[in-house]
């Protein structure tokens, strides 16, 4: 697991926090932001306009911890809106466009610490959006896990319980549950049989 070093070692770098739903990604993002703020460094937080589950503009964890953020439609807006920030935080990165890795590289090359959080896999267990590219270029990666709702083991899959097959469906525990690999495999077979 990646443990933060002194801030000077993190300037001009990309950190990715990834995992399944209910694994604490946003909670960890907020924790890191608060540490940066405690050190009196300027931080700007961003989230995609599609994420309106808890609040229209704030980044909010499942535990209801929140952080003020700027909502953007396209990742390129982050380059303009970050101002003089020494740290840029981005939540729900999987919902951003494929330009996000280039934006993060540009920020890191300017000497900015970039912290990104998002789902690494979609509801089908496939790599999600720009996250795989971000994982490849990041200096630091933290994969967090939920607890499987079926087995009690570590979970890294987000199983969608509804029949909706569109890639993006916002939802909470009424729509998604975290599952281990074996439980996810069984659930996907069950779901396929229900559809057919």
- Domain contains 88: yes
Are 15 and 113 in contact by the 8 Å Cβ rule? The answer is yes
The pLDDT of residue 162: 82
Nearest to 176 by CA among 157, 191, 189: 157
The pLDDT of residue 189: 93
The pLDDT of residue 59: 58
176-179 vs 157-160, strand pairing mode: antiparallel
Query: Model confidence over 156-165: pLDDT tens digits?
Result: 999 988 877 7
- Domain contains 167: no
Which residue ranges in the chain fall short of pLDDT 70? 1-9, 52-66, 169-172, 195-196
The total of structural domains in the chain comes to 1
For 29, the domain range is 7-145
Rounded Cα distance, 130 and 121, in Å: 11
Reduced to 3 states (helix: H, G, I; strand: E, B; else coil), residue 61 is coil
- Domain contains 123: yes
4, 15, 92, 153: which is the annotated catalytic residue?
92
Determine whether 92 is an active site residue.
Answer: yes
- Domain contains 159: no
Reduced to 3 states (helix: H, G, I; strand: E, B; else coil), residue 89 is strand
The pLDDT of residue 68: 80
The structure tokens listed for 26 are 């946003």
Reduced to 3 states (helix: H, G, I; strand: E, B; else coil), residue 23 is coil
Rounded Cα distance, 130 and 178, in Å: 21
Predicted TM-score (pTM) of the model is 0.86
The pLDDT of residue 7: 44
């Amino acid at each position: 697991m990646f443990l933060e070093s002194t801030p000077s070692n993190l300037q001009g770098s990309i950190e990715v926090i990834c995992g399944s739903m209910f694994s604490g990604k946003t909670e960890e993002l907020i924790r890191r932001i608060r540490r940066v703020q405690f050190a009196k460094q300027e931080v700007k937080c961003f989230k995609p306009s599609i994420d309106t589950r808890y609040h229209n503009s704030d980044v909010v964890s499942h535990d209801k911890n929140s952080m003020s953020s700027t909502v953007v439609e396209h990742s390129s807006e982050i380059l303009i809106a970050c101002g003089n920030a020494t740290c840029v935080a981005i939540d729900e990165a999987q919902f951003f466009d494929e330009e996000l890795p280039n934006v993060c590289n540009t920020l890191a090359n300017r000497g900015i610490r970039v912290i990104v959080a998002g789902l690494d896999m979609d509801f089908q267990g496939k790599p999600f959006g720009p996250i795989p590219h971000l994982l490849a270029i990041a200096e630091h990666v933290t994969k967090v896990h939920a607890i499987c709702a079926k087995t009690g083991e570590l979970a890294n899959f987000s199983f969608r319980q509804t029949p909706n097959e569109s890639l993006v469906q916002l939802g909470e525990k009424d729509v998604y549950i975290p599952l281990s690999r074996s439980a996810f495999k069984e659930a996907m077979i069950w779901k396929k049989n229900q559809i057919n």
